[in-house]
Amino acid sequence: MLPELHSILNLLEGGFSQLKVLVIGDIMLDRYIHGEVERISPEAPVPVIRHAQRYERAGGAANVAMNLAGLGCQTILAGFWGSDAEQAEIKTILDRAGVDTVGVVSSSLPTISKTRIVGRMQQLLRLDIESREAPPAVELDRLIERATSLVDKVHAVILSDYAKGALSRSVCEAVIQAASAKGIPVMADPKTPDLSKYAGATSVCPNLSELSLATGIPAHQTEALLEAGQLQVAKHGIQFLTVTMSEKGIAVLWPEGRYHSPARAREVFDVSGAGDTVIATLAASFAGGLQVETAVDLANLAAGIVVGKMGTVPVAQHELIAALTPSTTLAAGEKILDRERIAKRVAEWRSSGETIVFTNGCFDLLHVGHITLLEDCRRFGTKLVLGLNADASVCRLKGPTRPIVRENERARVLAALAAVDAVVLFEEDTPLDLIRELKPDVLVKGGDYTIETVVGHEAVQEAGGRVEIVPTVEGFSTTNIVRKLMATQEKEN
């Protein structure tokens, strides 16, 4: 993934917001009732749940839409829901996330809901409310009309099939045909053993069990199953299959090739919705211009995040950015950010619980005093942002002979340090405006400063942060280094 990390971060930090994605499929409401189990009922041999908490989540195709919204995409949802209390609850959730429900058709059937009763992290019972009847033909025709009219307004389409009736063969065929005519990618998450239902899609994304049903090969015979999957690609006119394999990661299958993205090691709490996260991230990434392999790696990373949560919870943009931007893996060039990107990066870090530390300076001719300062800064938080005076600023502060090293080179050297998470140039004489924008949790300066003499201390303290003063290393400064060099040169002459 690293060769395309710049492209990935550009998408996450703004590019996804330019993309429109249409999700068509089975809309559900997921309810969770959590409580404590302390005794068995005297009326029957069943546990008694003392109710503690209840909450609702968007499920099925609606969860796919929530994942897209979490990535920052403009998201449109199409499918069915009833005229009932469940519809009102799920509509509220989607509206709050900014998901457009213009494609949803009001059905004579009830809104699908699943209520899970959980005691001490263990699911004890699930209550499903749904009709066994297929949606009436007139409602399916209405869905086809709405969905196909939206296809040419988006950059990608997802068919989220939970086998609840919304994605009939006629709906799939009409949508895929409309998207193909416009060159719009279609990703399908199947719940049927007959993959011909999704013929012509860009990618179909089964798990191992679903691929086993489609091919007749036992799920535990992984190699034979993947070989059979490759045959399905050409058979149904699909560009590639994306097979999710739980702890084995994700495999991309072309007729004559494969790509394997290993699973990211993570403690698993709940796999609910992981497939929704994969297909949402894959579709958005593919629509955003990422290579298939990179899109799959990103989808794999996103799935690793959501399985660490309880319940159906979508991935959030800031979680992916935080996972992608540890200073130990970022190339130096990826740490040098302009004012707009540093503001977004800091906001994402803060959303993920990081503590933002800020320091600033000219850093002309890097020396041990600088290194000690930066290492000291890192002790006060988890992300260090370094404000670097641009050349014009250094010249005004230090005189016409400075800087000795130009701003691009200074930024590149500083960004290569493990202690530094981001470098941002500022043209002003002081970083006051930058500090006001970023509102760091900790502002650090070295030397003979007092808190009251540090530029930006009031802005930081008013925002709830603090100022730290660290000692300098005696005898080390750029000015002293320059003097020594000049003295040496005079002796040599």
- Percent of the chain at pLDDT above 70? 91
**Structure confidence at residue 188 (pLDDT):** 97
Active site residue 421: no
Q: Amino acid identity, residue 182?
A: K
At 91-108, the pLDDT tens digits run: 999 999 999 999 999 999
**Structure confidence at residue 477 (pLDDT):** 62
Judge if 362 and 400 occupy the same domain. Answer: yes
pLDDT-derived band at 368 (thresholds 50, 70, 90) equals confident
Q: Average pLDDT for residues 430-457, to the nearest whole number? A: 93
Owner of token pair 């429900």 = 101
Q: Average pLDDT for residues 168-185, to the nearest whole number? A: 97
Q: Which of 324, 348, 365 is the last residue of a domain?
A: 324
Judge if 170 and 205 occupy the same domain. Answer: yes
Mean pLDDT of the chain: 89
Q: Which of 324, 340, 358 is the last residue of a domain?
A: 324
Judge if 211 and 348 occupy the same domain. Answer: no
**Residue 213 pLDDT greater than 90, yes or no:** yes
DSSP 163-187: SSSSS-HHHHHHHHHHHHHHT--EE
- Percent of the chain at pLDDT above 90? 68
Beta bridge partners of 442: 357, 466
Q: Which of 291, 307, 324 is the last residue of a domain?
A: 324
- Burial of residue 382 (CB within 10 Å: 0-12, 13-18, 19+) is middle
Range of the domain at 233: 2-324
Structure token pair of residue 307: 């399985």
**Residue 269 pLDDT greater than 60, yes or no:** no
Orientation of helix 317-324 relative to helix 339-351, angle to 10°: 100
**Which residue in the list 26, 100, 161, 276 is annotated as catalytic?**
276
Pairing of strands 27-40, 47-60: antiparallel
Structure token pair of residue 268: 């698993």
pLDDT-derived band at 86 (thresholds 50, 70, 90) equals very high
Judge if 141 and 232 occupy the same domain. Answer: yes
Q: Average pLDDT for residues 220-228, to the nearest whole number? A: 94
At 335-359, the pLDDT tens digits run: 999 998 899 889 888 877 889 999 9
Judge if 305 and 345 occupy the same domain. Answer: no
pLDDT-derived band at 479 (thresholds 50, 70, 90) equals low
Beta bridge partners of 55: 32
Q: The domain that contains 446 carries what CATH number?
A: 3.40.50.620
Q: What angle do CA 180, 71, 265 make, to 5 degrees?
A: 105
**Structure confidence at residue 347 (pLDDT):** 87
Q: The domain that contains 257 carries what CATH number?
A: 3.40.1190.20
Judge if 66 and 170 occupy the same domain. Answer: yes
At 8-60, the pLDDT tens digits run: 888 888 889 999 999 999 999 999 998 888 899 999 998 888 877 888 999 99
**What is the rounded CA–CA span in Å between residue 47 and residue 41?**
6
Judge if 380 and 478 occupy the same domain. Answer: yes
Judge if 221 and 367 occupy the same domain. Answer: no
E strand intervals along 328-451 = 356-361, 383-389, 422-426, 442-446
- Burial of residue 259 (CB within 10 Å: 0-12, 13-18, 19+) is middle
Q: Answer whether 448's CB lies under 8 Å from 422's CB.
A: no
At 273-297, the pLDDT tens digits run: 688 999 999 999 999 999 999 999 9
**Structure confidence at residue 165 (pLDDT):** 94
Residues ≥6 apart with Cβ < 8 Å to 489:
none
Q: Answer whether 172's CB lies under 8 Å from 178's CB.
A: no
Beta bridge partners of 123: 118
What is the distance in angstroms between the CA of the first residue and the CA of the last residue of the chain?
A: 53
**What is the rounded CA–CA span in Å between residue 207 and residue 205?**
7
Q: Answer whether 148's CB lies under 8 Å from 178's CB.
A: yes
Judge if 29 and 154 occupy the same domain. Answer: yes
Backbone angles phi and psi of 368, in degrees to 5: -65, -30
List the one residue out of 207, 478, 455, 482 whose CA is nearest residue 365.
478
**Structure confidence at residue 268 (pLDDT):** 45
Instruction: Return the number of other C-beta atoms located less than 10 Å from residue 170's C-beta.
Output: 13
- Name the domain count of the chain: 2
Q: Answer whether 140's CB lies under 8 Å from 72's CB.
A: no
**Residue 493 pLDDT greater than 60, yes or no:** no
**Residue 1 pLDDT greater than 80, yes or no:** no
Judge if 352 and 466 occupy the same domain. Answer: yes
Judge if 283 and 305 occupy the same domain. Answer: yes
Judge if 193 and 304 occupy the same domain. Answer: yes
At 405-441, the pLDDT tens digits run: 999 999 999 999 989 999 999 999 999 999 999 999 9
pLDDT-derived band at 270 (thresholds 50, 70, 90) equals very low
**Residue 485 pLDDT greater than 60, yes or no:** yes
List the one residue out of 369, 399, 385, 483 whose CA is nearest residue 442.
385
